Amino acid sequence: MTWSEMQPLLEQGTVDTLYMVLWATVVTVLGGLPLGILLVLTDKGGLLQNLPVNKVVGAIVNIGRSLPFIILLIALIPFTTLVVGTFIGPTAMIVPLAIGAIPFFARLVETSIREVDHGLVEAVQAMGGGIPTIVRKVLLPQALPSLVSGVTTTVIVLIGYSAMAGAVGGEGLGSKAVTYGYQRFDTTFMLVTVVVLVLIVTVVQLIGDGVVRLLARRGRTA
């Protein structure tokens, strides 16, 4: 394949990958953040201690995390069809991508929130703050740099997942690499696709680290 043949494929692939990953990230954060907070609050000694809820949510998250993504992708086909109307194409892929990443992100959120000094929670309780105040004004802002790191990691995991989704009717760079690189034995195209993926991951990591550094510049020693 010549460069002029590769270029449109790579462009289309990149656009599709970014589209899938972006929307999947949005859905993952919207789903995983509350789940992670719930895991912390309902845990033993938590502000909303509720062990049955904690155990059930924890178990669902663990199951979600232990399923291999490729299995999840196939198992979710009926559900994806129900939500999007089809199970092929980038839009359809957002569903399994998000569902695969939510449990992962929820655990990252849980870890970040747990790292917030309990003394701060106590201080706000002593001021008369309730649980919504504590979550909004203490837990989330204090954990923000760590949460941003978590989002960065999640985006990168999603880029990996999205390449896999290419094998099952998704679009994007992964699908292009499989169709043109692997099935047509075009090693050069395969390598170029990999380089583009590496570039995307690097850029995402750089942006994430930059934001974390910006947030951390506020001299964070309590």
Partner 1 sequence: MITTSGLTKVYESRGRQVTALDGVDLHVREGEVFGVIGQSGAGKSSLIRCVNLLERPTSGTVTVDGVDLTALAGKSRRAGRDLRRARSSIGMVFQHFNLLSSRTVKDNIELPLEILGVSGAERSRRALELLDLVGLADKAKSYPGQLSGGQKQRVGIARALAGEPKVLLSDEATSALDPETTRSILQLLRDLNQQLGLTVLLITHEMDVVKTICDSAALMQKGRIVESGTVSELLATPGSQLAAELFPVSGAHTGPDRTVVDVTFHGDAATQPVISQLSRTYNIDISILGAAMDTVGGRQIGRMRIELPGRYEDNVVPVGFLREQGLQVEVVEETLTEETVVQGAATLLVKEGAK
- Residues found near partner 1 in the complex (CB under 8 A): 47-49, 117, 119-120, 122-131, 133, 137-138, 141-142, 144, 215, 218-222
Shortest CB 121 distance to partner 1, Å: 9
Q: Looking at beta carbons only, is 6 or 147 nearer to partner 1?
A: 147
Asked whether 43 and 55 are in contact (CB, 8 A), the reply is no
Nearer to partner 1, 82 or 123 (CB): 123
CB-facing half-sphere around the CA of 146: CA atoms within 13 A: 18
Of 5 and 117, which has the nearer Cβ to partner 1?
117
- Smallest gap from Cβ 47 to partner 1, in A, equals 7
60 vs 144, beta carbon nearer partner 1? 144
Least distance from partner 1 to the Cβ atom of residue 36, Å: 18
Tell me the DSSP string of 97-149: HHHHHHHHHHHHHHHHHHTS-HHHHHHHHHTT--HHHIIIIIIHHHHHHHHHH
State whether the Cα torsion 97-113-37-209 is positive or negative. negative
Least distance between partner 1 and beta carbon 137 (Å): 7
CB of 73 to partner 1, least distance (A): 38
Residue whose CB is less far from partner 1, 142 or 175 = 142
Residue 152, token pair as written in the block: 């960065």
Shortest separation between residue 193's beta carbon and partner 1, angstroms: 41
Nearer to partner 1, 17 or 42 (CB): 42
Report CA Rg, the chain. 20
| Separation CA 14–CA 158 (nearest Å) | 14
For 35, 37, 101, 139, 140, the CA distances from 110, given in Å and listed in that order, are 8, 6, 14, 11, 11
